[in-house]
Amino acid sequence: MATWFDESRLDDETALANADRVFRALAEAGARVRRESIDASAAAAEAVALGQDQSRPRAVIAAGPDSRLLRAVLEPWCPVPFVAWPGPALPGWAGSLDLVVVLAPDGHDTGTASAVAEAVRRGCQVVVACPPTSLVADHAAGRYTIVLPAVTGDQLATAVVMLEYLDRISLGPRADADQVAEALDAVAVACSPHRDLAVNPAKMLAIALADANPVVWGGSVLAARAARRVAESIRRASGRTALAGDAEHLLPVIEAARQRDVFDDPFAEGGGELRPMLLILDDGAEEPVVREHRGRLKAAAQSRGVRVETLTADAQTEVARYASLMLQGTYAAEYLRLGLVED
Question: pLDDT (tens digit, 9 = 90+) per residue, 80-108?
Answer: 999 999 888 899 999 999 999 999 999 99
Share of the chain above pLDDT 70, in %: 95
Per-residue pLDDT reduced to its tens digit, 257-307:
887 665 565 555 555 578 999 999 999 999 999 999 999 999 999 999 999
Q: Which domains does the chain have, with CATH numbers?
A: 3-19+193-342 (3.40.50.10490), 31-174 (3.40.50.10490)
Q: What is the dihedral of CA 31, 130, 321, 312, to 10 degrees?
A: -80
Q: Could you give the C-alpha distances from 222 to 77, 165, 181, 260, 282, in angstroms and in order?
A: 13, 19, 17, 33, 10
Rounded Cα distance between 325 and 34, Å, is 19
**Contact criterion met (CB below 8 Å) for 251 and 296:** yes
